[in-house]
Structure 1
Amino acid sequence: MFKLFVIYLSAVTVRGSDQNFNLKQDWWETAVIYQIYVRSFMDSDGDGIGDIAGVTSRLDHLKEIGADAAWLSPIFKSPMNDFGFDVADYYTIEPHYGTIEDFDQLLKKASELNIKIILDFVPNHTSNESEWFIKSSNRDEYYNDWYIWANGHIDCDGNKLPPNNWISLFGNSSWSYMPNRDQFYLHQFGKAQPDLNFRSPVVVDEIKSIIKFWLETGVAGMRINAVNLIFETDKDNFGGTYPDEPKSGNLHSSSNSYNYLDHIYTKDQDETYELVSQFREVFDAISIRDNLTRVMMTDACTNIKNAVKYYGEGVQSGAHVPFNFALIEVLDKGSDWDARDIKYAIDRWMTYKPLMKQANWMIGNQDKSRLASRVRPDLVDAFNMLVLLLPGVAITYMGEEIGMINGAVPWSNTKDPLACNTDDPVKYIEVSRDPARTPFQWSSGKNAGFSTAHKTWLPVANGYKNINVDSQRSAARSHYKVYRTLTKLRSRTAFREGRYESHALHPDVFAFKRWYKHDTYIVVMNFGKTYRIVNLTAFDLIFGQLEVEASSVLSSRTYSDNVPSDYLDLAADEALVLRMQV
């Protein structure tokens, strides 16, 4: 009996979440969410910087490719030390990006196109130019404990030293000294990004008010950034001081780099999950009132056991979409991955996530090297098939639908503070996020159609003459057209509600099956650089001829071609969506 139960549980964990329970799916549960880095998407006023009006002018593109929602990078007022991830005023639109009237127009146009708008929200820290921080540094009675303040140490030469050895994600000490307060403040990112103190109930209430404010404008959700860094250990448990973190043992990390330490006191604290549950209550209250789900997404770079806790446990609600970085982590291995790693990463998430919760998939974002540059341009279609045809929510970073590559950003043009903090004109490129943030490529014209400016904030990537929306829209075959085909396929019941099963048919070849009743599909992809022959009858009830529904750009197969299920020859980098003929 126990053996039978284990087998049953294993099967259930890889089904679509709702198909066996006849529950009505909410708008977000099978949504395609399109991530827009606003600064680089479309410039409407010719200053070389993307803006909200630019996003509005290009919403038709999202409609064309089948996106259901646009998720915008931070648009709140900011001195732009970290390009919006350092917020000075959460209630005001950043002037570089426009006005609240521009934002209202965006919401109006999006509503007309039935596209939801989701905002990026950064509660872990503010800008050091925030009124809150300025008042806290001056020991204002109300704002005094809004940030993490601590006394330092004095060495034998009279120098003030940080309270402990904590290191910032941007490198070097995560403590900076504030003379007018004669204390150090914590910043887990840049010096201009002081961490808020979420052990203060007043701070928690203020953050909830901000969430409510923006949801009231009509946005359909928010992404809570760096959620697992929100809490630090409670210093009261250590005699009123913050303890040192142990060394990680990472032999490839310098003593001033983030990976040098094991961050047991500055991330993944248990209190975080309770706070996320409180945030969810704000989302749910407005959702119930308006009869429209406001979706909460959470971003936490952590291990899988911690990541799935953000779904919520027991009676405690969590995020609708706790970000799944499984595929990104596979690609972080460089060239040291194959089809077996892909299968393991997908099946592992499907197994760990709660049974009735939706999975989600992504292959890139504004912090990662672009897919076409991390792997090969010829594999773009294969990875888009994964993201769009696996069960659950699909998240696409702008440009993945046309196979954009990294831009070449020289040291002289580098803007990313993470790269600038290296002070190294050679090694900066190893950490720079700028190459994945270069302007979106709309056309082969000036600045790739992104801006009429003489100079854009980051240079346009090489190759834009061929890699752009206009050229791919008019081409006979292109990544753009494959992407549109995939989002249309995604609307079919087998992909929205169907079951899932997968095989690594060869170290180079990954395949998965999606089916609902008698409607069955096989998605197969060759990640290798050589020709492979595979037998798809390894899947139950797959036999005879299969019909091609979609194929990668360089495939010799096209729509409605027939292929044998028991002897399928796949060219290097070829990816196919096949339908079982009934």
Structure 2
Amino acid sequence: MTAMTKDKSQHFCSTVKCQCLVLLLTAGCVAAAVCVALLSTAVRGRMPPDMEWWQTTIIYQIYPRSFMDSNNDGIGDIRGIISKLDHFTYLNVKAIWISPVYESPMKDFGYDISNFTNVSPIFGNLTDMANLTEEAHKRGLKVILDFVPNHSSNLHMWFNESVKRTPRYKDYYVWRDGIAGPNGTHSPPNNWLSVFKNSAWEWNEERKQYYYHAFLKEQPDLNYRNPALVEEMQNALRFWLERGVDGFRIDALPYLFEVTNTSWNEPKSNRTDLDPTQYDYLTHPYTQNLMDDMYKVLAGWRDVLDEYENLDEKRRFMVVEAYTKTTAEKIAWYKSAADMPFYFGLLNINKACGGSCIRDIVDEAYKDLPANAWANFVFGNHDNRRVSTKKGPEFVNALNMLLLTLKGTPTTYYGEEIGMLDVNITYNQSVDPQGKVYNESVFLKYSRDPERSPMQWSNDTMAGFTNSTTSWLPVGSNYRTINVETEKDAEGFSTIKLYRTLAKLREEPPFRYGLFKTAVVNNNTYSYLRHAFDFPQYLIAINFGSSTDTSDYTKAPVNAERGVVVANTGNVNATYNVNSNVDLSRITLNSAEGLVIKIINAP
């Protein structure tokens, strides 16, 4: 079988029902002729595979505190999001993921929830949420909510009742006796550590027991070995599905279960760069990724989503935050009830990561995917430094070109479409509890504040984020040049215009569902081909290194001599202007330059 025939066979298998083969073998001439016509169409690529909505769109993460402030208190809110929904229409983004807006005392800025079925007054109310969903759907936008199942706030009614040992709520949380010491003293049940440093056990004087908290002491872990609690959280999903939500991003899923035998201490990691109070001083076999237990709960959540899908035949999406460390873990997550786990490999990009480095990260995403699994890519989020800071601001356009042309669902963190950078935060300005547990000399290593600064909408005061004179975090100092309005109004090239061009290009079959093949790769350049049969082929070539690279792209898999530039990163010479006809035998790219080229004489 030739390479081309093999590719066509693979494409055919993904687009044509197996029953057609049976028909060809058993039916009469007329039926067989009809089937042959269908097969011919499929091989040519005119019959695209069935795809779910979450496979065909960019997912855009909104951190609501920082997106848009409508009431001038310096904090973003739901009405602010509503006011900016047309931004996504402009970008050609069709799904938004909203970080928590639930009722919360805000010890961890919304990830400490005191009511899973209400909205924090800081962000608005349930009517505002209903309006957001309605207005989003009018624009063809799907709405994905953050679901935070691992823990609640210690101010949640459930926890207060659990402290009192009220029968229904007594075991909603993970309670244990301490280890008795001399003179009536006691110590935690074991050496387990919190992600936010120090012991993961907190003494409650009223109940006379310790409770477990993987994160802040104000975030007690819920007990999923209690069927009543499991049902409560399923009902929380139903509450939001009844209100039109299209899916959920599941937060911190690997922490959902702990072993029941709390006499087991977790082993040391043997890292000499950490002190014994830091989370990674230990490994976590007893408090992370208890897969069998998690799968059962996850399957229950999928059943809830399917209840609503069965009513209207509209897919409800579920993506999980699961930092996989092995291929086996990745496969296991893809085979779970979730649609996909986030792939976080690209979070590791840094200044030294060139073409070969990027290739290895991307290949890992595609490696060993189970049948029918769908890849995804993400550069950053509310817990990680912006990729524009990690790799360098000069690479912003190159990075967006990569994200939006790979095969799989891309997730954009707010501000990436305009090239926002981390902000400089002083210790006195810092509000993130993860950073504040450390002293001033090292807090920035752990703080998540720099990547959470307000969205830069315009060059007006406070970047158009608020009419207040202050905001919950400082606005980036570069907002006068890096902002939505200025970039949209630019006469020539801009970062947001490139983003929009690439987002529209993703609608084309080669990018929507076409094959992906690696082309030239070296320490500087990473390139690949996207194509679907009987549609134009596209070459993407990007220089992620520090020096100039000249390469020949005429050999396999491109097998062509010439092409036409359809997009560039804006920093290229005139030879590679959009619509320029280029010689593929000699493409020269300087550092941070990238091209999308339509092949014009492929075989």
1:30-61 alpha-carbon deviations (Å, 9 max, x no partner) = 21110000000000000000000000000000
**Residues 18 and 356 in structure 1, CA contact (< 8 A), matched pair in contact too:** no
- Structure-2 residue corresponding to 1:337: 353
Q: Distance in 2 between matches of 1:577 and 1:20?
A: 30
**Residues 511 and 523 in structure 1, CA contact (< 8 A), matched pair in contact too:** yes
Deviates more, 1:338-347 or 1:132-141: 338-347
**Residues 17 and 358 in structure 1, CA contact (< 8 A), matched pair in contact too:** no
Deviation at 1:503, TM superposition (A): 3.8
Question: Of 321, 325, 333, which aligns to 1:310?
Answer: 333
| 2:326 maps to 1:300 | no
Q: Distance in 2 between matches of 1:114 and 1:253?
A: 48
Q: Structure 1: which amino acid aligns with 2:277?
A: N
| 2:600 maps to 1:578 | no
Partner-residue secondary structure (3-state), 2:223: coil
Q: Distance in 2 between matches of 1:375 and 1:16?
A: 39
Q: Distance in 2 between matches of 1:23 and 1:372?
A: 35
Partner-residue secondary structure (3-state), 1:536: coil
Taking the TM superposition and a 5 Å limit, the aligned residue runs for 1:41-120 are: 41-120=67-146
- Structure-1 residue corresponding to 2:23: none
Q: Distance in 1 between matches of 2:50 and 2:286?
A: 42
Question: Of 152, 163, 188, which aligns to 1:137?
Answer: 163
Deviation at 1:156, TM superposition (A): 4.0
1:194-237 alpha-carbon deviations (Å, 9 max, x no partner) = 000001111111111111111111011011101111011132xx
Deviation at 1:27, TM superposition (A): 1.3
Percent identity for Structure 1 against Structure 2: 36
Deviation at 1:307, TM superposition (A): 3.2
Deviates more, 1:549-558 or 1:210-219: 549-558
Deviates more, 1:89-98 or 1:149-158: 149-158
| 2:299 maps to 1:277 | yes
**Residues 19 and 498 in structure 1, CA contact (< 8 A), matched pair in contact too:** no
- Structure-1 residue corresponding to 2:344: 325
Deviation at 1:504, TM superposition (A): 5.1
- Structure-2 residue corresponding to 1:267: 288
Q: Distance in 2 between matches of 1:292 and 1:233?
A: 37
Distance 1:246 1:310, change over 3 A: same
**Residues 16 and 499 in structure 1, CA contact (< 8 A), matched pair in contact too:** no
Q: Structure 2: which amino acid aligns with 1:552?
A: T
**Residues 551 and 575 in structure 1, CA contact (< 8 A), matched pair in contact too:** yes
1:363-405 alpha-carbon deviations (Å, 9 max, x no partner) = 0101111111111112112221222111121110000000000
Question: Normalising to structure 1: TM-score of the pair?
Answer: 0.93
Deviation at 1:336, TM superposition (A): 4.0
Gaps of 5+ in 1: 236-240
Question: Of 569, 581, 584, which aligns to 1:565?
Answer: 584
1:429-464 alpha-carbon deviations (Å, 9 max, x no partner) = 001100000000000111100000121000101111
- Structure-2 residue corresponding to 1:491: 507
Taking the TM superposition and a 5 Å limit, the aligned residue runs for 1:367-386 are: 367-386=383-402
**Residues 16 and 496 in structure 1, CA contact (< 8 A), matched pair in contact too:** no
- Structure-2 residue corresponding to 1:252: 273
| 2:476 maps to 1:461 | yes
| 2:485 maps to 1:470 | yes
**Residues 311 and 357 in structure 1, CA contact (< 8 A), matched pair in contact too:** yes
Q: Distance in 2 between matches of 1:399 and 1:460?
A: 12
1:137-181 alpha-carbon deviations (Å, 9 max, x no partner) = 111111001101111123446543111000111111111110001
Q: Distance in 2 between matches of 1:355 and 1:339?
A: 28
Partner-residue secondary structure (3-state), 1:120: strand
- Structure-2 residue corresponding to 1:555: 572
Q: Distance in 2 between matches of 1:20 and 1:107?
A: 35
Q: Structure 1: which amino acid aligns with 2:590?
A: A
Deviates more, 1:170-179 or 1:15-24: 15-24
Partner-residue secondary structure (3-state), 1:28: helix
Deviation at 1:542, TM superposition (A): 2.6
Question: Of 386, 395, 401, which aligns to 2:417?
Answer: 401
**Residues 15 and 500 in structure 1, CA contact (< 8 A), matched pair in contact too:** no
**Residues 153 and 161 in structure 1, CA contact (< 8 A), matched pair in contact too:** yes
Q: Distance in 1 between matches of 2:512 and 2:476?
A: 35
Taking the TM superposition and a 5 Å limit, the aligned residue runs for 1:526-541 are: 526-541=543-558
- Structure-2 residue corresponding to 1:425: 440
| 2:205 maps to 1:179 | yes
Taking the TM superposition and a 5 Å limit, the aligned residue runs for 1:505-520 are: 505-518=521-534, 519-520=536-537
Distance 1:426 1:406, change over 3 A: same
Q: Structure 1: which amino acid aligns with 2:482?
A: I
**Residues 519 and 558 in structure 2, CA contact (< 8 A), matched pair in contact too:** no
**Residues 17 and 356 in structure 1, CA contact (< 8 A), matched pair in contact too:** no
Deviation at 1:132, TM superposition (A): 0.4
Q: Distance in 1 between matches of 2:406 and 2:251?
A: 24
| 2:383 maps to 1:357 | no
Provide the aligned C-alpha RMSD in A. 2.1
Q: Distance in 2 between matches of 1:73 and 1:341?
A: 31
- Structure-2 residue corresponding to 1:238: none
Structure with the greater relative contact order (CA < 8 A, sep ≥ 6): 1 or 2?
1
Taking the TM superposition and a 5 Å limit, the aligned residue runs for 1:14-25 are: 18=14, 23-25=49-51
Q: Distance in 1 between matches of 2:226 and 2:295?
A: 16
**Residues 391 and 495 in structure 1, CA contact (< 8 A), matched pair in contact too:** yes
Q: Distance in 1 between matches of 2:7 and 2:157?
A: 53
Distance 1:17 1:322, change over 3 A: farther
Q: Distance in 2 between matches of 1:487 and 1:41?
A: 21
Partner-residue secondary structure (3-state), 2:331: helix
Taking the TM superposition and a 5 Å limit, the aligned residue runs for 1:220-239 are: 220-235=246-261
Deviation at 1:308, TM superposition (A): 3.4
Q: Structure 1: which amino acid aligns with 2:232?
A: E
Q: Structure 1: which amino acid aligns with 2:332?
A: K
Gaps of 5+ in 2: 18-47
Question: Of 238, 243, 246, which aligns to 2:264?
Answer: 243
Q: Distance in 2 between matches of 1:226 and 1:242?
A: 24
Aligned residues: 563
**Residues 174 and 221 in structure 2, CA contact (< 8 A), matched pair in contact too:** yes
Deviation at 1:129, TM superposition (A): 0.4
Partner-residue secondary structure (3-state), 2:55: coil
Q: Distance in 1 between matches of 2:513 and 2:153?
A: 43
Q: Distance in 1 between matches of 2:160 and 2:13?
A: 47
Partner-residue secondary structure (3-state), 1:352: coil
| Greater C-alpha radius of gyration | 2
Deviation at 1:510, TM superposition (A): 0.4
Q: Distance in 2 between matches of 1:30 and 1:446?
A: 37
Question: Normalising to structure 2: TM-score of the pair?
Answer: 0.90
Deviates more, 1:484-493 or 1:273-282: 273-282
Q: Distance in 2 between matches of 1:108 and 1:85?
A: 25
**Residues 118 and 126 in structure 2, CA contact (< 8 A), matched pair in contact too:** yes
Q: Distance in 2 between matches of 1:18 and 1:76?
A: 41
Q: Distance in 2 between matches of 1:18 and 1:29?
A: 15
Q: Distance in 2 between matches of 1:465 and 1:419?
A: 28
Deviation at 1:100, TM superposition (A): 0.9
**Residues 318 and 339 in structure 2, CA contact (< 8 A), matched pair in contact too:** yes
Question: Of 541, 544, 547, which aligns to 1:524?
Answer: 541
| 2:561 maps to 1:544 | yes
Distance 1:29 1:20, change over 3 A: farther
Distance 1:413 1:186, change over 3 A: same
**Residues 380 and 403 in structure 1, CA contact (< 8 A), matched pair in contact too:** yes
Structure 1 runs (4+) deviating above 3 angstroms are: 14-23, 154-159
